[in-house]
Structure 1
Amino acid sequence: MSQKKAINLFTIGFTQKSAEQFFDTLMKAGVRRVIDTRLNNVSQLAGFAKRKDLEYFLRTIGNIEYVHILDLAPTQEILDNYKKKKGDWDVYEQQFLQLIRDRQIEQKISQDLLDCGCLLCSEPKPHNCHRRLVAEYLSNKWQNVKISHL
């Protein structure tokens, strides 16, 4: 049986980072593609990370590709229950993991797309963030994913 090629998968949140910190971190890590996992990626709160601006900055500053994959985002209901209604993280985690299991993201997302890719969302740290859940879920399914939180 042949050994699966190792996938280097990064994650990053853009809040509490300057544009300089954000883009330098991606380039130093060798990220080739940013995979936006946000449900809402055009908010005024996003600053330099609004979809069209981010796509331009990534390409121009770091020659980094941008893709937005809604299958990796929570539903509005799951997000609202956690954010707006101050829900419990454990409940959010269970609901989100069920959602990505139901969506069978491991069959929809190509391993090549994720290699040297970086899952993006807004949370500054990965602990209470769905990007970590996506990365760990895929790592468990594929057994060949090395996760680095930037």
Structure 2
Amino acid sequence: MKLYTIGFTKKSASEFFTLLKNNNIRVLVDIRLNNVSQLAGYTKRKDLEYFLTELLSIRYIHDLNLAPTKQILDDYKKKVISWEQYEKSYIELLNERNIQDNLNEKYNKNFENVCLLCSESTPENCHRRLAAEYIKKLYSELDIEIVHL
């Protein structure tokens, strides 16, 4: 089973939507805390949902259970905490939220061709990688392969 992640920064709309199409993404899960910023361009919530549904028949979900808190995000951006501290805080947050029930309800253990969306251009220092790894560990029996687009 393949679980994908994608960041939209440094990708044109053409490149972004082509990656989703070519990888047969069926559900795009937006895990950004803020998905309506002017900086989001073609990935602003209402626009993105329209493009995905109308052009590619991809279901759109905004899942704040997988988003960091504003405090954690701000602390990292302002260099109050390191990436290692961010990772630890984010994983603790997912544990506190007990997200497995939410994931079971929304995805019914089917993460095949689901794609986690965030803004960072690469997954190394992005919570979408952490979320994907968390899901893979949580559902170890599913043999999930993580693919970063």
TM-score, length of structure 2 as denominator length = 0.92
Equivalent position of 1:149 in the other structure: 148
Equivalent position of 2:119 in the other structure: 122
- Deviations along 1:66-85, whole A, 9 cap, x unmatched? 00010000000000000134
Which deviates the most, 52-61 or 83-92? 83-92
Instruction: Give the 3 Å change call, closer, same or farther, for CA 54–28 of structure 1 in structure 2.
Output: same
Give yes or no for contact 1:39–1:75 (8 Å, CA) kept in 2: yes
Structure 2 counterpart of 1:59, one-letter code? T
2:84 alignment partner, one of 77, 83, 90: 90
Please list, as runs of the form range in 1=range in 2, the aligned pairs for 1:74-89 lying within 5 A after superposition. 74-85=68-79, 87-89=81-83
Does residue 1:55 correspond to 2:49, yes or no?
Answer: yes
Structure 2 counterpart of 1:146, one-letter code? E
State how far apart, in whole Å, the 2-side matches of 1:84 and 1:139 are: 30
State how far apart, in whole Å, the 2-side matches of 1:32 and 1:67 are: 11
**1:94 deviation in Å?**
0.4
1:40 alignment partner, one of 34, 42, 45: 34
Structure 2 counterpart of 1:27, one-letter code? K
**1:61 deviation in Å?**
1.7
Structure 2 counterpart of 1:67, one-letter code? I
Which deviates the most, 19-28 or 79-88? 79-88
Structure 2 counterpart of 1:26, one-letter code? L
**1:59 deviation in Å?**
1.1
State how far apart, in whole Å, the 1-side matches of 2:111 and 2:65 are: 14
- Deviations along 1:17-39, whole A, 9 cap, x unmatched? 00000000001001001000000
- Deviations along 1:21-60, whole A, 9 cap, x unmatched? 0000001001001000000000000000000000001112
State how far apart, in whole Å, the 2-side matches of 1:61 and 1:12 are: 18
Give yes or no for contact 1:23–1:61 (8 Å, CA) kept in 2: no
**RMSD, aligned CA:** 1.2
State how far apart, in whole Å, the 2-side matches of 1:23 and 1:84 are: 31
Equivalent position of 1:133 in the other structure: 130
Runs of at least 5 residues in structure 2 that lack an aligned partner in the other structure: none
- How many aligned residue pairs are there? 144
**1:115 deviation in Å?**
2.6
**1:86 deviation in Å?**
5.5
**1:125 deviation in Å?**
0.4
**1:8 deviation in Å?**
2.0
- Deviations along 1:68-125, whole A, 9 cap, x unmatched? 0100000000000001345310000000000001111123213446331100000000
Runs of at least 5 residues in structure 1 that lack an aligned partner in the other structure: 1-6
**Poorly superposed stretches of 4+, deviation over 2 Å:** 84-87, 110-115
